[in-house]
Amino acid sequence: MVELVGRLILMAGGLASAGLRQGPTWDLAWRAMLFFGAYSVMLYLMEQRGLRNRGVSGLAASLDGVVLAILLQDAGQIENFGFLTLAPLIWAATRHGSDPVLMAPIIAAGLVSSANFRNSNPSTLLIAQAAGVLIAGLMMKPARAQTIVKEVMSTPAVQEDMTRELRVQLRDALVELSASETRAKVDSLAGHLARTLPARGADHNGLTHAVAEALGLSGALIYTRDESGERLVVKGAAGTLPLELQTIGIEWPQGQSEAQMKTRIQSAIRNLAEVDTCHSVRVIRDQGVPIGAVAIFHPTIHGLEEALDQLEAADEVLGRFVAQAEARNAEANRLAVAELLYTIAASAPGTDDTETLSGRICRETFAAVNVDHVSIVQLQGNQERLLAREGAESRMLDLIEFPSGTGYAGWVAAGREEVWIDDCLHDSRVVGREALKRRVGSFILIPLRNAERVLGYISVATHRAGGLDAPTVGHLRVIAGETARALDRMSGRVRETEGLATPNELRKFIAQAPQGCLVYLDVPRREKMIEKYGRPAFDRAIRQLALRVRALVPSGSLICRRDDGDYIVFLRGQNEETARVWANEIVATAALVPLTTLDGRNRMPMALRAKVATLTPQKDRIPA
């Protein structure tokens, strides 16, 4: 307000001076004073709204100095009172903290330029005053701005409202922080599982090892519910844990809260074995439905709590991975069993002895249904003859009690029926705890029947109780039926008309119809492929190729698969040119089949090589 009054007085004085002298500068004077008054009012309004700062005050002081120099020049007093132009500079520097170094050159230039209003050159005295203004501006220092904090007394009601608002903001911030930490834990576990599962395998064991590694655990167990929904079965184990924990299932506490479920499961784990590490349990849910549980083990209580917090945050992620593993294993088992059934049908005609056929069936069954023991036994009177075995040795039949006795004799006396023991530790038919010593958790014995005749039996066992679920047992029953028919056919009791034949059948067939061509199909670099990819992967690739070859064999012709994995095809009534065209089609078809290893990660460069030979009626001897 003081500055506005001062500027208005200065404006009025300028107008009065110009008016009294009635000089030619009147027109310029009133316009200049009008502009001066307008920006004076504007500065006042800016100050009232808090928009005025040190820069604005410095610019206004510079303009004030220039206007003051013009008025002094118009009054003819510039050489006597030119030093008064320092007044706005000093005021702005001391009152508003404006920088004198920036204001002094503008005022000095206005002081020198004011001489032009009288069309004369600036005098020495005027230049000296301008220099004095510059020197004064350089020597002055702006006043330091001081911030004054005033304490405002507030009423208790205002303080309570402010406290409530701060509490709400703090609560929202803590909720957001907790949500961010939860998302970070979920992303961390999910990212680790996504990175490591392709290398470890996407089954339950691979998932358990990946979880233990991600959480830094000393051990972990993943349980899932069996078909009845009354028991938890161990599907995956990681770390060094007691054998009882890895093989024995526990009762599923149905109809209870999650806290009660955890307490019951932890109690069951403690009753099974002595564990010297801290452990806890978390219920696994998929879309809100309990599907199993995970037990985690850690040497320290602090590490266990951290792992449990991260596992609790990633509850949905773990449940989704477990459900995917269940679905993936079920689909893989169905496909593997389908391939196995074809293997049995294709292997029997190309095999001359039951041991070779049984060995192939045991090997393929062991890989297809993911068990720990498979054996095929042939019955010869009252004696057993082991044809083949794959996996750990298990004589579980010797430990089973029947109404008429124990072991093989009791089974024969009981009618040679199927024996399925889901939990060998708690089943009353198993003698003592011998099953646990032999690491057998579940066991099944399926007789190999063809009509009313029992040719033998196939026995399958797993280390885990409940490891043989209903779908797996269903697959094994189908495999047993196909095996029984294959063994019976090899004994000469069954004759089937089909495109597959044994070497002897092929020789007899060619002797009856010698006109045609022989096509020999084999896989080059067989030994190197077996060494690089393994025998199971090679056998699986051979089966996939056999599916294509068998489908392309012409009607009335025979195909014989030999034990080494190669094939001999007799094309009856075909000439050499037609046979070569057919062989080239087979080779081209084999090259288009996508063959991969068992884990699906590596492609196998499988190919067929064909040789064609013509048979005439004179060539009646075919080498084996």
Mean pLDDT by 10-residue block, N- to C-terminus, for the chain (624 residues)?
Answer: 72 68 60 72 75 76 77 73 78 77 80 69 77 79 58 63 81 78 70 66 76 84 79 84 79 78 83 79 82 86 83 76 76 64 58 78 80 88 85 83 86 86 83 76 86 81 82 80 77 50 78 82 82 77 69 71 75 86 82 62 74 73 49
What's the length of the chain?
624
Judge whether 545 and 604 are in contact, CB under 8 Å: no
- Per DSSP, the residues of 548-574 read HHHHHSPTT-EEEE-TTS-EEEEEET-
Question: Quick one: DSSP state of residue 400?
Answer: B
Write out the two tokens for 364: 């393929």
Q: How far is CA 264 from the centre of its chain?
A: 31
Residue 538 has, within 13 A of its CA and on its CB side, a CA count of 18
- What is the per-residue pLDDT for 460? 92
Fold of 348-490: Beta-Lactamase (3.30.450)
Q: Put residue 623 in one of left, alpha, beta given phi > 0 → left and psi -120 to 50 → alpha.
A: beta
Write out the two tokens for 547: 């599916």
Q: How far is CA 480 from CA 449, 487, 488, in A?
A: 8, 10, 12
The CATH superfamily label for domain 195-325 reads: GAF domain (3.30.450.40)
The reply to whether domains 195-325 and 348-490 share a CATH topology is yes
Packing angle between helix 315-347 and helix 156-200, nearest 10 degrees?
20
pTM greater than 0.85: no
In sequence order, the 6+-apart residues with CB closer than 8 A to the CB of 257 are none
Name the residue type at position 381.
G
- What is the per-residue pLDDT for 199? 61
Judge whether 224 and 232 are in contact, CB under 8 Å: yes
Q: How far is CA 169 from CA 159, 174, 369, 450, 590, in A?
A: 15, 9, 58, 78, 69
- What is the per-residue pLDDT for 458? 92
Q: How far is CA 197 from CA 368, 411, 603, in A?
A: 20, 44, 19
**Nearest Cα residue to 129 out of 56, 68, 42, 212:** 68
- What is the per-residue pLDDT for 535? 77
Q: Put residue 519 in one of left, alpha, beta given phi > 0 → left and psi -120 to 50 → alpha.
A: beta
Question: Quick one: DSSP state of residue 546?
Answer: H
Beta bridge partners of 377: 386, 457
CATH architecture for segment(s) 503-615: 2-Layer Sandwich (3.30)
Domain positions in the chain are 2-139, 195-325, 348-490, 503-615
- What is the per-residue pLDDT for 204? 78
- What is the per-residue pLDDT for 497? 39
Task: Give the span between the Cα atoms of 596 and 604, in whole angstroms.
Answer: 5
- What is the per-residue pLDDT for 160? 76
Element (H, E) at 204: helix 204-215
Residue appearing with tokens 């005021």 = 91
